[in-house]
Chains A and B, each alone.
Chain A
Amino acid sequence: MSNKWDKLSKQETMKESIRPSLTYWQDAWRRLKKNVLSMLGLGVILLLILYAGFGNAFTDWRYSDQKLDMSNLPPKLEVFDVGDGITLYVHKEYTLYQIKDNGKIIEKLELPTANKDMLKKQNHYTLEGKNITVDYSFAAKAKKSNDPNAIKFQLLVDDKVYTVPTSKIGNGVYRFGTDGLGRDLFARLVYGARISLLIAFIATMVQFFIGVLYGGISGYIGGKVDNVMMRIVDIISTVPLLLYVIMLMVVIGPGLKTICIALGSVYWVNMARIVRGQVLSIKEQEFVLAARTIGASTWRIMVRHLIPNALGPIIVSLAMMIPSAIFTEAFLSFIGLGVNAPMASWGTLANDAVPGLRSYAYQLMYPSLFISLTVLAFNFLGDGLRDALDPRLRK
Chain B
Amino acid sequence: MTSATRNRFIAIGALLVAGAALAFIAFGNMGKNLVFYWTPGEMLAQGTKAYGPTIRLGGVVQPGSLHWDAAHTHLSFRVADSDTSGAPSVLVQASETPPQMFRERIGVVVEGTFDRSQTFTSNRLMVNHSNEYRPPKPGDGPDQWKATVSAPTAEAR
A, B: real partners = no
